[in-house]
Structure 1
């Protein structure tokens, strides 16, 4: 390119000056001699060896050519830089596309992440940058045209101007093509991201609907209290557990429905243990002994008999005042007593187990003391209920959930093969009778 400028300069200079040929030659001859790059062309030497100063027109042309040369070099560097940028973008976009395909089967929950993968910048920014570069080149071309028009008597060589326009046109075409490609890729990535997000949302919605259906199917009881817990085997691993614990209490009433034909003894319908005292409250019928109520490991024998394989409603009451207790079966009070752990408050923060007697809080069960049968409507109050209230529950004329422990589905867990099943206790009891 630099040699081209020098050749053009010499051709132009040959139109106004003459270079002597061989001695004795007639006429005028024009000789083009290659001049090394960087040679000062601001002056010429005549045939006598005297230095001649350049004319203003030649000086202006020289400045124009120098400016054109610098402009061309800058444009060349810009083109190289843009080619590098385009190559980098092609590489990054190819990697992004490959990465997006490899992650096509994965489910992403974080939608705020950049879906363009590891692209160093957004395609919109790249498009804007390329557009600015193209506009800058156009501005330079207009500046050169304006410079040529303002130069008095100076003319820009047509072939150089055409070459510059051709290069700029090619660059503009390449930039526009790349801009179009980037816009298409950006649109494609956006569409793929939108489709992926839609698929993920649809999957989540399906899962939520399925969960809702399962929850509805598990809630098969007509009401939260219409279910029973079945403990069919005498083992040390079948049991139920009440999720709620007890506050400190100075009196209580415990009522439940029982059905068992186990012998000898029905086992332990329920037990309440606290740290330091596993037998804080226990109802047990073990071996050939009668049913017993334990409070703080103190014992009172109850005149109850429920091992005939029918449903029975039983209630026991106790108050710390003189340790007074009562025992009810099917709404009838069958026994009372006192001095059962008098003036002892029931300790809080323990564990209520259905079907097993605790040797440590929540565990170490003994199979010989396990309850065998079915139980329902285990409710507990922090006061002594009136006989009329107990009778109403026993004959199914009223239902009173416990204010400390109510019998509800979500409040009862079963373990080791124990099961929960739907039960309308009053209808089932009438059928038994």
Structure 2
């Protein structure tokens, strides 16, 4: 089992989760990007487990260039290039949840997948290309650290791809039948630093 260390740095995860322990205004994780990439099409996937039913952020890059956040029990907020969409979530969403956001720039469409199943696709026209460099914040909205409460729960399998994954591939990822790693962010090689009461522990997710 990984050691219980606060403020730990680590590169790459195989069977470990990030465990956000405290409902506060400061807990988050900094994920460093290894190279700069410009994204038009993209797919962002991650897996989380929380009891929170109030507003919290899961993934935040450059404020709202790329944001995945929970608004409430039934709403997920997605921001791409500063433009926001809201998606309705299934009722009684508990335990480990696999979520993917896929943007098809040429079609002007964004899809949200929950546990491999798509919600209704929504239109997002004229959103700019996103230049990814520097770092990503997990567990907090990037411009609201110190102002709003952070995510509480576990997170694993954070991957970002520079293409639109097919529904079949996303379904296989959700079921654990594929371990295809992102070429922008890969969970197996991710470089992270925990801030506040966030620790790295063996995941409770069934492999």
User: For residue 346 of structure 1, what is the aligned residue in structure 2?
Assistant: 130
Secondary structure of 1:301 counterpart: strand
Q: TM-score, normalised by structure 1?
A: 0.42
Relative to 1, partners in 2 of residues 1:356 and 1:372: Cα closer, same or farther, differing over 3 Å?
A: same
Secondary structure of 1:335 counterpart: coil
Higher helix share: 1
**8 Å CA contact 2:74, 2:88 repeated in 1:** no
In the aligned structure 2, how far is the partner of 1:262 from the partner of 1:355? 12
In the aligned structure 2, how far is the partner of 1:291 from the partner of 1:396? 23
In the aligned structure 2, how far is the partner of 1:328 from the partner of 1:303? 11
Aligned counterpart for 1:367 among listed residues 141, 144, 148: 148
Matched, 1:316 2:126: no
Q: Which stretch shows the higher mean deviation, 288-297 or 372-381?
A: 288-297
In the aligned structure 2, how far is the partner of 1:421 from the partner of 1:307? 26
**8 Å CA contact 2:80, 2:127 repeated in 1:** no
In the aligned structure 2, how far is the partner of 1:326 from the partner of 1:293? 10
Secondary structure of 1:389 counterpart: helix
**8 Å CA contact 1:227, 1:422 repeated in 2:** yes
Aligned counterpart for 1:261 among listed residues 18, 27, 51: 51
**8 Å CA contact 1:324, 1:336 repeated in 2:** yes
**8 Å CA contact 2:21, 2:198 repeated in 1:** yes
**8 Å CA contact 2:74, 2:91 repeated in 1:** no
User: For residue 193 of structure 2, what is the aligned residue in structure 1?
Assistant: 413
Q: Cα RMSD over matched residues? A: 2.6
Correspondences of 1:1-400 after superposition (within 5 Å):
224-244=13-33, 246-265=36-55, 267-273=56-62, 278-287=63-72, 290-305=75-90, 308-338=93-123, 340-359=124-143, 364-368=145-149, 370-400=150-180
Residues paired across the two proteins, number = 198
Higher strand share: 2
Secondary structure of 1:390 counterpart: helix
Taking CA–CA contacts closer than 8 Å with sequence separation of 6 or more, which of the two structures ends up with the larger relative contact order? 2
Structure exhibiting the larger radius of gyration computed from Cα positions: 1
**8 Å CA contact 1:321, 1:342 repeated in 2:** no
Cα deviation, 1:221-279, whole Å, max 9, x if unaligned, reads xx8321111112221211111111651111110111111111224x1011000xxxx21
Cα deviation, 1:396-420, whole Å, max 9, x if unaligned, reads 1111111110003652221111111
In the aligned structure 2, how far is the partner of 1:307 from the partner of 1:233? 23
Secondary structure of 2:206 counterpart: helix
Q: TM-score, normalised by structure 2?
A: 0.84
